[in-house]
Amino acid sequence: MNLFSPLTLGDLQLPNRLVMAPLTRVRSGIEGVPGPLVVEHYKQRASLGLIVTEGTYPSHAGQGFPGQPGLVTPEQIAGWTNVADAVHSAGGRLVAQVMHAGRVTHEGTNGGREVVAPSAIAIAGETRTYEGKAAYPVPHALTTDELPGVIADFVQASRNAIAAGLDGVEIHSANGYLLHEFLSPASNQRDDIYGGSPENRARFVVEVVTAVAEAIGAGRVGIRVSPEHNIQDALETDAADVLATYGALADALAPLGLAYLSVLHREPAGDLVQQLRTRFGGPLLVNSGFGEVTNRDEAMAIIADDLADAVVVGRAVIANPDLVARWLKDLPLNAPDPLTFYGAGAEGYTDYPALAH
């Protein structure tokens, strides 16, 4: 077994263990419709074992960024159908990352809709809206009665992804967005059954994932978490609480038979990640390279040392659409240009060259 060995993730059959990370690239316009540029971008990267799309909103209120794609309107679903058809025609597989931004947005981004979160606690700092930079607002604390509607949005978006022809979904419960906001004791200060204890803070995430799995099949559903990542004020600084919270989550998800658990953490070999792998009991994907770029040697070692079943890679895939071929033969890489990570055009998106065959 190595990085280039086949892998089964639930209903998905991967030819290799390199997974394209969900990467926010905001090139879908004000209507959130993935167009020809997005089609080309993902098609170029079809040789990856699995493509996870950029975070895609399940409701207009859940939109986090200008130019972010959605899975809500008929036009958006049609756009994703074009993406799925292109990736499949090139021999690839892709899942949609379904992401509700929670409090990490603004009325100037989500069409004037109420910004929501587990608790009425704003993020410190500013966000980019269609009108320019603005301070993050104090969000509306979702009531217990409102939560089923949010679950329904995740379910419908996931059904829409399948209807568009994608191979599955990844539920985004990381990086400070809505589901992560429930897990973090800093952003979740509720006093109902969704707040307080680690089990209570994990409850809403479990309910969302369970509902999506029931709707489209557990073998088409993964989940992404980022314990101790500590960004966007979703702070998790008590190691014992982190293990209790994510352990409770893993224990509750284990019986569902999900396709995978994807963990973003700086120490994939550490006790936390490996405990979560054991308790989850299904395939583990790891992504260590947020602070530092994941390189070939590290990725190869993660699989060789059986620390995970697959490796999730971001920046190297941005700059190298044919990363699998390059890493297989240990060939030179294109360097990513951070100045073009976010933007509207082809530059830094579809113009990184592949090696001549």
Read off the pLDDT of residues 292-326 as tens digits, 9 standing for 90 and up.
Answer: 788 999 999 999 999 999 999 999 999 999 999 99
Residue 1 pLDDT grade (very low, low, confident, very high; cuts 50, 70, 90): confident
Rounded CA separation 11/337 (Å): 35
Rounded CA separation 164/75 (Å): 11
Number of neighbouring beta carbons within 10 Å of residue 8: 12
Q: Give the pLDDT score at 141.
A: 98
For the chain, the first-to-last Cα distance in angstroms comes to 26
> Is the pLDDT reported for residue 356 higher than 90?
no
State yes or no: is 136 an active-site residue: no
**DSSP codes of every residue in 327-349:** HHTT---PPP-GGGSSSSSSTTT
Sign, CA dihedral 182-185-186-192, equals: positive
Q: Is 61 left (phi over 0), alpha (psi -120 to 50) or beta?
A: alpha
253-280 burial, b at 16+ Cβ within 10 Å, e below that, comes to beebebbbbbbbbeebeeebbbebbebb
| pLDDT tens by residue, 118-177 | 999 999 999 999 999 999 999 999 999 999 999 999 999 999 999 999 999 999 999 999
Gyration radius of the chain over CA positions: 19
> Is the pLDDT reported for residue 357 higher than 80?
no
Q: Give the pLDDT score at 292.
A: 76
Residues 79-89 have a mean pLDDT of: 98
Asked if 117 contacts 140 with a C-beta cutoff of 8 angstroms, the reply is yes
| pLDDT tens by residue, 96-122 | 999 999 999 999 999 999 999 999 999
Q: Give the pLDDT score at 138.
A: 98
What is the rounded average pLDDT for all residues in the chain? Answer: 96
Q: Give the pLDDT score at 290.
A: 66
Q: Is 7 exposed, middle or buried (0-12, 13-18, 19+ CB in 10 A)?
A: buried
Q: Give the pLDDT score at 291.
A: 67
Sign, CA dihedral 86-88-90-95, equals: positive
The angle formed by the CA atoms of residues 86, 90 and 91, to the nearest 5 degrees, is 120
DSSP 293: -
CATH class name, domain 7-340 = alpha beta
pLDDT more than 90, % of the chain? 94
Q: Which of 42, 57, 136, 177 is catalytic?
A: 177
Asked if 250 contacts 279 with a C-beta cutoff of 8 angstroms, the reply is yes
| pLDDT tens by residue, 188-230 | 999 999 999 999 999 999 999 999 999 999 999 999 999 999 9
Residues 174-186 have a mean pLDDT of: 97
- CA distances (Å), origin 168, targets 59, 119, 173, 215, 303: 18, 30, 16, 11, 24
Q: H-helix or E-strand containing 275? A: helix 271-280
> Is the pLDDT reported for residue 94 higher than 80?
yes
- β-partners of residue 325 are none
The angle formed by the CA atoms of residues 244, 120 and 25, to the nearest 5 degrees, is 80
- β-partners of residue 20 are 51, 313
Asked if 224 contacts 249 with a C-beta cutoff of 8 angstroms, the reply is no
